[in-house]
């Protein structure tokens, strides 16, 4: 098994000499390469099992790093499980046409924001117009496929029910009652409007002068846009666990990387179009880094958002009111809180099945103290 950090340490120095990188991409690679090494410094930790003190190298805490934020991810999952209502749920996926990928690659923050707002608005508007219900949803932006290709889409977790228009009743519906065609049309319409508004406000100025936003939108608007809406396999808990794998990281996890040899990376991916068969894919190291960097989010961009009655401002009160109207007086019992175990190397070796963190013995020679190359005179997608 290999890790993303190994690939980065072997490839990124050459990569930045020949290709332009944004500050966010450069910082992500710098942090990942030095995560849990002597370069990051260390802290004294007491072993939970034997009480011995040992040194633990600090993590980089970069949200693109597959080795970090494990505890934060578990905390996020616990919060989501505590909010689950005693109703069925839908997994709705809004796919952005591939022709619009170029807009996101040049102007990621503005386009991602437009896409997320369009997906959330589509769920709320269709619920109101077709079902007469005030719906709620939680949306998750993703930009990758299993093979790390660039594919902008939004996962939405939608309870099969909502408040009546006067807010005094809870109205449930069957999973098939939320019309996919109406979702597709509304998503297309709102995203079209959002992108044009961003262009008018000057948020897409980095696009090449030869690229016309109006022409791109005119090309994709007449076609049906792909929207998926089904009950999650295994229940909403399994769906949150799936989404949780990428709430605090992007594109790929370390356990999917099989090897990094002769500057080639082999990783596993799941072919959902072929019975979920697991396959392997091999790329050159430079191409692997290029694909990964395409998915590094802009600094500060919020990739998880809530809409409708699940919006952050009134979510707690609305969930309490929903449980009361559904007939459940108290929230469902939360799962046992995640408790990470800090084990020294000796105890970790004896306790192979436990979750533990051990110090890395790798000393990394800094190789990224390079001044950032200035952006090209004509902007292009990284």
β-strand pairing of 227-230 with 89-95: antiparallel
DSSP states of 249-308 as a string? S-S--GGGEEEEETTEEEEEEEEGGGTTEEEEEEEEHHHHHHHHHTTPPPTT---EEEEE
Q: Which of 320, 175, 183 is nearest to 239 (CA)?
A: 175
State the sign of the Cα–Cα–Cα–Cα dihedral 256, 259, 263, 264.
negative
**At 58, phi and psi to the nearest 5?**
-70, 150
Parallel, antiparallel, or unpaired for β 304-308 and 136-144? antiparallel
Strand, helix or coil for residue 164: strand
Residue pLDDT, tens place only, 265-305: 999 988 877 777 889 999 999 999 999 999 999 988 999 99
The model's pLDDT over 128-165, given as tens digits with 9 standing for 90+, comes to: 999 999 999 999 999 999 899 999 999 999 999 999 99
What is each CA distance from 183 to 110, 165, 171, 342, in whole angstroms?
22, 20, 19, 47
| pLDDT tens figures, 79-89 | 999 999 999 99
Stated pTM of the model: 0.83
Q: Strands 277-284 and 264-271, how do they pair?
A: antiparallel
3-state helix, strand, coil in the chain (%, to 5): 40, 20, 40
Residue 363 reports pLDDT greater than 70: no
User: What is the rounded distance in angstroms from the CA atom of residue 144 to the CA atom of residue 125?
Assistant: 27
């Amino acid at each position: 098994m290999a890790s993303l950090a190994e690939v980065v340490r072997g490839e990124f120095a050459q990569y930045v000499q020949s290709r332009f990188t944004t500050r966010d991409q450069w910082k992500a690679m710098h942090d990942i390469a030095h995560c849990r090494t002597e370069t990051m410094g260390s802290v004294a930790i007491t072993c939970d099992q034997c009480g011995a003190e040992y040194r633990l190298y600090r993590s980089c805490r970069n949200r693109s790093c597959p080795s970090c934020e494990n505890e934060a991810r578990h905390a996020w999952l616990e919060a989501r499980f505590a909010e689950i209502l005693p109703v069925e749920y839908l997994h709705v996926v809004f796919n952005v046409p591939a022709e619009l990928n170029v807009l996101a690659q040049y102007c990621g923050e503005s386009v991602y924001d437009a896409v997320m707002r369009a997906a959330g608005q589509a769920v709320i508007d269709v619920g109101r117009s077709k079902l007469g219900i005030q719906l709620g949803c939680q949306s998750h932006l993703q930009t990758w496929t299993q093979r790390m290709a660039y594919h902008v889409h939004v996962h939405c977790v939608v309870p099969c029910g909502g408040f009546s228009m006067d807010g005094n009743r809870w109205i449930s519906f069957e999973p098939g009652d939320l019309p996919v065609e109406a979702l597709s049309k509304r998503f297309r319409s709102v995203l079209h409007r959002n992108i044009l508004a961003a262009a008018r406000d000057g948020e897409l100025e980095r696009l090449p002068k030869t690229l016309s936003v109006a022409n791109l939108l005119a090309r994709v608007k007449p076609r049906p846009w792909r929207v998926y809406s089904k009950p999650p396999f295994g229940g909403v808990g399994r769906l949150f666990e799936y989404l949780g794998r990428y709430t605090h990281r992007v594109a790929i996890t370390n356990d999917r990387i099989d090897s990094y040899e002769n500057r080639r990376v082999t990783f596993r991916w799941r072919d959902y179009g072929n019975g979920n068969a697991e396959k392997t894919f091999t790329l050159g190291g430079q191409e692997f880094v290029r694909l990964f960097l395409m998915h590094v989010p802009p600094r500060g961009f919020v990739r998880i958002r809530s809409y409708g009655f699940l919006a952050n401002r009134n979510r707690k009160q609305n969930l309490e009111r929903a449980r009361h109207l559904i007939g459940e007086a108290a929230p469902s019992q939360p799962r046992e809180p995640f408790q990470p175990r800090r084990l020294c190397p000796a105890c970790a070796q004896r306790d192979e099945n436990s979750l533990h963190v051990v110090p890395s013995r790798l000393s990394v020679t800094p190789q990224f103290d390079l001044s950032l190359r200035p952006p090209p005179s004509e902007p292009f997608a990284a």
